[in-house]
Amino acid sequence: MTVPATEGDTASGLTVRVSRIPLLAAAVVPVVALIFYLLADRQWGQLPAFMPAFLAVVWVLDLLTAFLLFHQYVAGGSPRLAMLAGAYLWSSTVIVPHALVFPGLFAPAGLLGAVPSSAPWLWAAWHTGFPLLIGAALAPWGYRRPTGGHRARLFVVAALTLVVVALVSAVTWLVTGGHEHVTVIIQNGDYTVLTERFGPYIIGANLLALLTAVFQFRRERTRGLEAWAFVAVAASCGDTVLTLFARSRFTAGWYGARLLALVAALVVLAALLHEVTLLYRRVRTTAIELAERNEQLRTANSLRDHLVAVVSHELRTPLTGLSGIVEILREGRDQLSATQVDDMLGRADSLTRRLSLLTEDLLAVSTLDHGELHVSPTDLDLADALGECARTFPRNDVHADCPPGAVVHADPLRLQQMLANYVRNSIKYGRAPIVLSAAVRDGTAEIRVRDHGPGVPAEFVPRLFDRFSRADEAKVSEMSGSGLGLSIVATLAASHGGRVWYEPADPGACFVFTVPGRIDEPAAGPHMAATAERMA
């Protein structure tokens, strides 16, 4: 099982946390090694295709692993990755002369002037350098943060490659052209000398690397590649021990050792490919999330532009009226009758209320967006409330018709805001008369605002109570109103435990909201009707 990388993982260049699978794999290695150890001396005979196929596969796997690890290091990964890459580069490089000098592969006695001991010496170099370099990669040296720039990292890769190639070349020359300087360690396919004289050193190097890897596990901070590098070290140990104790080629132990060598070559590459796949998934997921976020931002931008446009329009219009009235009263008061002056003052009052309602709506939007809407419901006489609303539109034909004794439990300011928004909407899009009415049943007051205009087009009804539901419509004529009013009514009604809906009327449109309500008995006073007559 994998989990997302932490910052620490990324900093160490090991990006995937792993489960116990590497531990189980590492535990299987000694079991396999033991089985082959028990059969180690059993001769299985030479399979001509085995050695070239085995060396070719290991060479390709190790080279790919080194390539990917170097890339991760250059991309900003840990220097440990460079060291791990160096181990696999060493393995893939030393395999080449090993194959060239191995008798019977490219020439009966091997190429490069090989002697019988050349191949086992190169094997010894392979199985010493590889675990030691992995051990160095896993050793607890004081690495904190990726250091060096891109060029510096490329330089490190080039330097490591040169060192590896130079060392392998030197070893190759020593065991071929300079073979008289090294001990003969194989005779007639039997490498007992290698096992007995040099085996302990080679095994020691492997055990040192293994202990380093185990130490890393004990610190309980093993991540991804480290864990699989531990398996590679364990497999390399098994490979080395089996090879040495098999004592001669083409025995069961010798073949088993090659199997473990394949495991050592494969595990880190498999972990790398697994990691790449996971990263690809994350990149895909992130890309999709970013695309969605971008779309949301574009929508938010569009809504913001729309809000600025409509608010500007809705502010300018009453301000224009007010400034015109001031201009008229300042420069032409002497020409106006008392009725005309009253009319101007009435209009100024109406325009001021428009500005006030818009301001309240904008504040409500801001408050709602921050989740801070606060309502203070109290018992209100509904007939009074509807009448009060109707009186705030003295220049429009607005009637209130309410059953006697109706009481609602609502915030008085918010109730007026809901009513005013519905009435403003009816004035804007409907036709007079506009009737405010109410019905109380089952503890709920249904408050209706009906006009006698053309009604709402059916296709627009589903979006009627969405905020800025016209934001995507470019047509100038359809951009009137702030686009906030109905959505604010919906939210305010919900904050009172009520809801909103639209009912087509014949003719006209009817907008409804509910708040908690009751009829108080006995109903006091006659059926109330408040009518605000349109002023001339």
Partner 1 sequence: MARVLIVDDDEDIRDTTALRLRMLGHDVVAVDDAATARDAGARFDVAVVDIHMPGTDGITLLHQLRAQPGTAGLPIIFYTAHWSASVAAEAAPLADVYLTKNQPMSRLVQAIDELAGRPG
Strand 444-450 and strand 378-381: pairing? Answer: unpaired
Cβ at position 324, least distance to partner 1 in Å: 4
Does position 328 interact with partner 1 (CB under 8 A)? The reply is yes
Residue 360, classified by CB atoms within 10 Å of its CB into exposed (0-12), middle (13-18) or buried (19+), is middle
Output 431 or 448, the one with its CB closest to partner 1. 431
Cβ at position 372, least distance to partner 1 in Å: 28
Cβ at position 343, least distance to partner 1 in Å: 8
**Residue 396 and residue 427 in contact, taking contact as beta carbons nearer than 8 Å:** yes
CB atoms within 10 A of CB 342: 13
Stretch that binds partner 1, among 207-215, 296-304, 327-335, 519-527 (CB under 8 A): 327-335
| Beta carbons within 8 Å of 88's beta carbon, 6+ residues apart | 62, 63, 65, 66, 69, 130, 265, 268
Reported as half-sphere exposure (CB side, CA atoms, 13 A), residue 425 has a value of: 28
Does position 319 interact with partner 1 (CB under 8 A)? The reply is yes
Residue 257 CA to residue 278 CA, distance in Å, equals 32
DSSP letter (8 states) at residue 187: B
Stretch that binds partner 1, among 36-44, 66-74, 328-336, 413-421 (CB under 8 A): 328-336
Does position 387 interact with partner 1 (CB under 8 A)? The reply is no
Hey, what are 148's tokens? 């060096």
Cβ at position 315, least distance to partner 1 in Å: 8
Cβ at position 221, least distance to partner 1 in Å: 58
Given 1, 49, 338, 476, the residue binding partner 1 (CB under 8 A): 476
Output 355 or 375, the one with its CB closest to partner 1. 355
Cβ at position 462, least distance to partner 1 in Å: 21
Output 391 or 441, the one with its CB closest to partner 1. 391
**Residue 236 and residue 134 in contact, taking contact as beta carbons nearer than 8 Å:** yes
Does position 394 interact with partner 1 (CB under 8 A)? The reply is no
Does position 313 interact with partner 1 (CB under 8 A)? The reply is yes
**Burial call 152-187: b when 16+ CB within 10 Å, e when fewer:** ebeebbeebbeebeeebeebbebbbeebeeeeebbe
Residue 515 CA to residue 150 CA, distance in Å, equals 66
Beta strands in 398-465 (DSSP E): 398-402, 406-410, 434-441, 444-450
Binding residues for partner 1, total number by CB under 8 A: 34
| Beta carbons within 8 Å of 78's beta carbon, 6+ residues apart | 11, 12, 13, 14, 143, 146
Output 39 or 325, the one with its CB closest to partner 1. 325
Q: Is the peptide bond before 507 cis (omega within 30 degrees of 0)?
A: yes
Stretch that binds partner 1, among 33-41, 83-91, 313-321, 356-364 (CB under 8 A): 313-321
Place of tokens 């004794």: 405
Cβ at position 314, least distance to partner 1 in Å: 8
**Residue 120 and residue 191 in contact, taking contact as beta carbons nearer than 8 Å:** yes
Does position 317 interact with partner 1 (CB under 8 A)? The reply is yes
Does position 428 interact with partner 1 (CB under 8 A)? The reply is yes
Cβ at position 470, least distance to partner 1 in Å: 12
Cβ at position 430, least distance to partner 1 in Å: 10
Stretch that binds partner 1, among 10-18, 153-161, 329-337, 435-443 (CB under 8 A): 329-337
Output 167 or 328, the one with its CB closest to partner 1. 328
Query: What character string, x for contact with partner 1 (CB under 8 A) and - otherwise, covers 340-359?
Result: x---x--x--xx--------
Hey, what are 381's tokens? 């006489």
Query: What character string, x for contact with partner 1 (CB under 8 A) and - otherwise, covers 290-309?
Result: ------------------xx
Does position 325 interact with partner 1 (CB under 8 A)? The reply is yes
Residues contributing to the site for partner 1 (CB under 8 A) = 308-309, 312-314, 316-321, 323-325, 327-328, 331-332, 335-336, 340, 344, 347, 350-351, 395, 428-429, 475-480
